[in-house]
Structure 1
Amino acid sequence: MTLATKHRIYTTSFASVYPLYVAKAEKKGRTRAEVDEVILWLTGYSPAGLEAQIAVRTDFETFFAKAPALNPARAEIKGVVCGVRVEEVAEPLMREIRYLDKLIDELAKGKAMAKILRQPG
């Protein structure tokens, strides 16, 4: 994929979008800690690792490329976000970003954390 064909979100700083995720969740009565929990579950970052990525203003492409351990259960994330069915997104990086968007949507909609994190039971 050349720079000319990269989607703009790939080069957008994760730190610039993170506060929007937090605001969306908080507006619906959820917390920043819950947003962080979802991001850590998805990416395998430690809390310190996540903070470091935010501090250095890593772009989305690098944020996901450097993710320590993308959660294998993320393949269970299904549904529509921004009018797009996440499980049908062909481009791998865009699919990871849509997974994150979907998890934040579920959090904001009041879904139980165990269900968001695809825990059995």
Structure 2
Amino acid sequence: MNTTKEHDERMANMTFSSVYPHYVAKVEKKGRTIEELHKVIAWLTGFEATDLQRLIENQATFEQFFSEATINPNASLITGSICGYRIEEIDTTLTRHVRYLDKLVDELAKGRKMEKILRSP
């Protein structure tokens, strides 16, 4: 699935620090913890809490965020729809990675078990 150039640029230029508080609020509102959120982010990106703090302080864009990340080899097992897009059909790598993160946060907030969120073959 092709996303528009404008959509992809918006994703690339959005800062992680502008989205992170929304992730925190979303999961805490549903009774999950920041530690669980960090575990999910670490699974996808390899980032620890100290890395996240540095990226937030440096106002890293998602392009910078994901250029430093080590994407989990099982990330391609993340499928389904998010924001009207089928994740597995998104052609632009960066946009697909941002949507992977969005999907994992959604699953955490919806109460899905951690073993299911942190996919393995």
Residues 35 and 6 of structure 1: CA distance in aligned 2, closer, same or farther (over 3 Å): same
Matching residue of 2:19: 17
* 1:45 pairs with 2:43: no
Matching residue of 1:92: 93
Q: Displacement of 1:7 after TM fit?
A: 2.2
Q: Displacement of 1:4 after TM fit?
A: 7.1
Return the letter of the residue paired with 1:16.
Answer: S
How many pairs does the alignment contain?
117
Matching residue of 2:83: 82
Residues 80 and 5 of structure 1: CA distance in aligned 2, closer, same or farther (over 3 Å): closer
Distance 1:88 1:63 in 2: 22
Q: Displacement of 1:9 after TM fit?
A: 2.2
> Equivalent pairs: percent with the same residue?
50
Runs of 4+ in 1 over 3 A off after TM superposition: 3-6
The alignment's TM-score, normalised by the length of structure 2, stands at: 0.90
The alignment's TM-score, normalised by the length of structure 1, stands at: 0.90
Gaps of 5+ in 2: none
Distance 2:7 2:27 in 1: 32
Higher RCO (CA-CA < 8 Å; seq separation 6+):
2
Matching residue of 2:103: 102
Distance 2:7 2:14 in 1: 14
Distance 1:23 1:75 in 2: 26
Residues 65 and 76 of structure 1: CA distance in aligned 2, closer, same or farther (over 3 Å): same
Gaps of 5+ in 1: none
Residues 21 and 4 of structure 1: CA distance in aligned 2, closer, same or farther (over 3 Å): closer
